[in-house]
Amino acid sequence: MRFAIFTRALQSGNRRKLSPQLFSAFSRSFSQLHSQSKRPSFGIAFDIDGVILLGHTPIGGSPIALKRLYQNSGDLRIPYIFLTNGGGFRESKRASELSELLDVNIQPSQVVQGHSPFKQLVKRYESEFIVAVGKGEPAAVMSDYGFKNVLSIDDYASHFDGIDPLAQYKKWAIKPASNENSSFKETTSSIYSQRVQAAFVVSDSVDWSRDIQVLCDILRTGGLPGREIGHQPHLYFASDDLEYQASFPSERLGMGAFRTALEAVFNRIHHNPLEYTSFGKPNPLVFQNAETVLKQLLSSLHPNAPAVNQSTPESHHFKTLYMVGDNPSVDIKGARQAGRPWFSILTRTGVFKGKENHAEFPADLVVDTVEEAVDYILEKECPQ
């Protein structure tokens, strides 16, 4: 109502007839309404481990910080995503888990995990036989992306008697119930003769000794364990973090550590060095993809608002994209390499614990917590 009166006053040239107080109040209302309908010119990408959560516990005031990115109604106000090298579960499952832990409504499209770029390889391996490695539900993740012929390394290894000579000592190892029936035997014979075309390390390996053994078998033999040496199938890693911060006080070994171990062993037992492709931060492609995802999110928030430069969501340009992370060699290095419009913010709640900035990969800003990071961003982008 106030907005309508103010507009009419302006249209009829009565602007000077408004009292200064009334004019100022109308101005504020107008600018608030105007800013709500205009696309924000910035977006935010948050790392999860060591910034938002430690294990399953929110840290650094993360629930309060995230709530500030929503309207009072609970609708998303500021475009933001989670950009994590972690994974093992479908984006939809991770989004609902994060929504519960952080008490805000998070959409699957706001969760970009280390393995999310594997979607781009569906065309190449859609019907090929592939093996998925890692904690959680690696095969379900890949099936969800569209890969039609995928087995988890747990299932795959269970078809090969004696492939893991230590299995009998592993109290957690459970053989599938179907082991005894005839269909399992039929499947086993087809698994034996099917060449593995690629292996995907989707999330952190749970059983390094078994996974290094079975991957060496697959990779040395051209995808047919127990057979002769063959051409190495493709190997993909969702990320290459040497370490990450979880609930334990010091950092834990990540997928990069597993890759190092596999590579060291493989290169000792095979004549050709291991060939592989790693995704995840700090790979610049991850930051390009994050920008695209944020653009799409922004256009879904403001479907009718005109873009700053062009009319398609892809052509909208952000003035600033904030990367909030705890790991200088992953989050900050990646944002620095990606260049403008990325602006890096380093928190002290995870891997980085220094007083000053990081020496090798200095961030644009260092703060104690994610709450401070969001305060800074909102003060800069949405001054009251």
Query: Could you tell me which stretch among 172-180, 189-197, 288-296, 327-335 binds Mg ion (CB under 5 A)?
Result: 327-335
CB of 241 to Mg ion, least distance (A): 8
Helix, strand, or coil (residue 226): coil
Residue nearest to Mg ion as judged by C-beta position: 50
- Given the rule CB under 5 A, which of 39-47, 104-112, 340-348, 352-360 is the region that contacts Mg ion? 39-47
Relative to beta strand 252-253, strand 243-244 is antiparallel
Which CB atom, from 50 or from 138, has the smaller least distance to Mg ion? 50
- 164 or 240: whose CB is closer to Mg ion? 240
HSE at residue 51, side-chain half, CA atoms within 13 A, is 28
Where b means 16+ CB within 10 Å and e means fewer, 81-100 reads bbbbbbbbbbbebbbbebee
Q: Does 326 bind Mg ion (CB under 5 A)?
A: yes
Please say which residue, 48 or 151, places its beta carbon nearer to Mg ion: 48
198-201 vs 130-133, strand pairing mode: parallel
CB of 244 to Mg ion, least distance (A): 6
Total interface residues for Mg ion by CB under 5 A: 6
- Which stretch in 6-14, 107-115, 268-276, 344-352 sits in contact with Mg ion by CB under 5 A? 344-352
Q: How many CA atoms lie within 13 A of 221 on its CB side?
A: 17
Q: Which is nearer to Mg ion, 46 or 145 (CB)?
A: 46
At its nearest, how many Å lie between Mg ion and the CB of residue 89?
Answer: 17
Between 47 and 164, name the residue whose CB sits nearer to Mg ion: 47
Place of tokens 């990115």: 69
Nearer Cβ to Mg ion (158/327)? 327
How many residues does the structure list for the chain? 384
Q: Please give the sequence-ordered ranges of beta strands (E in DSSP) within the chain, or none if there are none.
A: 42-46, 53-54, 57-58, 80-83, 111-112, 130-133, 150-152, 198-201, 234-237, 243-244, 252-253, 277-278, 320-325, 342-347, 365-367
Residues 41-80 that bind Mg ion (CB under 5 A): 47, 49-50
Contact residues toward Mg ion (CB under 5 A) are 47, 49-50, 326-327, 350
